[in-house]
């Protein structure tokens, strides 16, 4: 079974701090994603990566950066945390689409989330 | 642009009653459709998916969903809910050539005894 592990369940940081959120998956998946989840807004994609050292902006990349030095690890970085970045952060992974129905056969596998509070 | 609208933010229902969670989507390209479930203090997990073929798809825990292309809907149903179904449910779409899954805002299902 696919396991996506986020290093921290809860995190409290101060405004202006540099924050690292770590995610590791154990199924050799090519694709990894960072979402933030806010009440009433669902999940919004921050960044994703489809290969080592590759990254693509999602819908809300401002104030964030990412790093993928190894296939199994995808880090989200808040360069200077702000209170409006208080949220639940979810990491996900998926395999590279194969077969006739491509991406449909590669659903997302999620970690349990990191609840970040910035004070 | 693509979007997903979940028509109910919260759905309270009594145990053993039927439930329907509504989802409409908008997309100019072909998409795959998904329902994910998030139990308290957990990440999301796949409930079911529609790729092609029969418009009625069955998922885990007795849930099913029906794809209606003309109405661009993908409503989730269960004929008899349990307390353990209390969770948040997310409808999502993924275009057939892409990487980005687009999620709805979620529907909180409360099952009462």
The tokens for A9 are 């369940």
Domain span holding position B61: 3-112
Q: What CATH number has the domain bearing residue B107? A: 2.60.40.10
Terminal Cα-to-Cα distance of chain B (whole angstroms): 41
Domain span holding position A24: 4-97+105-118
The number of domains in chain B is 1
Q: What is the rounded CA–CA span in Å between residue A109 and residue A4?
A: 7
DSSP symbol at A95: P
Is the pLDDT at A2 greater than 70, yes or no? no
Q: Is A3 left (phi over 0), alpha (psi -120 to 50) or beta?
A: beta
Taking an 8 Å cut-off on Cβ atoms, the answer to whether A107 and B34 are in contact is: yes
Give the CA dihedral A40, A41, A42, A43, nearest 10 degrees: -150
pLDDT, one tens digit per residue, over B38-96 is 998 889 999 999 988 889 999 999 999 999 999 999 999 999 999 999 999 999 998 87
Q: Is B44 on the interface with A (CB under 8 A)?
A: yes
**Residues belonging to chain A with any Cβ–Cβ distance to chain B shorter than 8 Å:** 4, 31, 33, 35, 40-45, 48, 50, 56, 58-59, 90, 92, 101-105, 107-108, 110-113
**Mutation target among A36, A88, A103, A106 for the B interface, most CBs of B within 10 A:** A103
Q: What CATH number has the domain bearing residue A89? A: 2.60.40.10
pLDDT, one tens digit per residue, over A3-43 is 999 989 999 999 999 999 999 999 899 899 999 999 989 99
Do the beta carbons of residue A76 and residue A58 sit within 8 Å? Answer: no
Most confident of B3-17, B38-52, B93-107: B3-17
């Amino acid at each position: 079974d696919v396991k996506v592990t986020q290093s921290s369940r809860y995190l409290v940081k101060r405004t202006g701090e540099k924050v690292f959120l770590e995610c590791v998956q154990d199924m050799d998946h090519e694709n990894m994603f960072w979402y933030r989840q806010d009440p009433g807004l669902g999940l919004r994609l921050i960044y994703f990566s489809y290969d080592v050292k590759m990254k693509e902006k999602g819908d809300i990349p401002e104030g964030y950066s990412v790093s993928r030095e190894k296939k199994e690890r995808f880090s989200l970085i808040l360069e200077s945390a702000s209170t409006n970045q208080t949220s639940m952060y979810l990491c996900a992974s998926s395999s590279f689409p194969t077969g006739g129905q491509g991406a449909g056969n590669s659903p997302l596998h999620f970690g349990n989330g990191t609840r970040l509070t910035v004070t | 642009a693509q979007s997903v609208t979940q028509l109910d933010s919260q759905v309270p229902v009594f145990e053993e009653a039927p439930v329907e969670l509504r989802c409409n989507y908008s997309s100019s390209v072909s998409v795959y459709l998904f329902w994910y479930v998030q139990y308290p203090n957990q990440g999301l997990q796949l409930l079911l998916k529609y790729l092609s073929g029969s418009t009625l798809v069955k998922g885990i825990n007795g849930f099913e969903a029906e794809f209606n292309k003309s109405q661009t809907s993908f409503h989730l149903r269960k004929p008899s809910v349990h307390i353990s179904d209390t969770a948040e449910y997310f409808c999502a779409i993924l275009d057939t050539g892409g990487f980005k899954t687009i999620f709805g805002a979620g529907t909180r299902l409360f099952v009462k005894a």
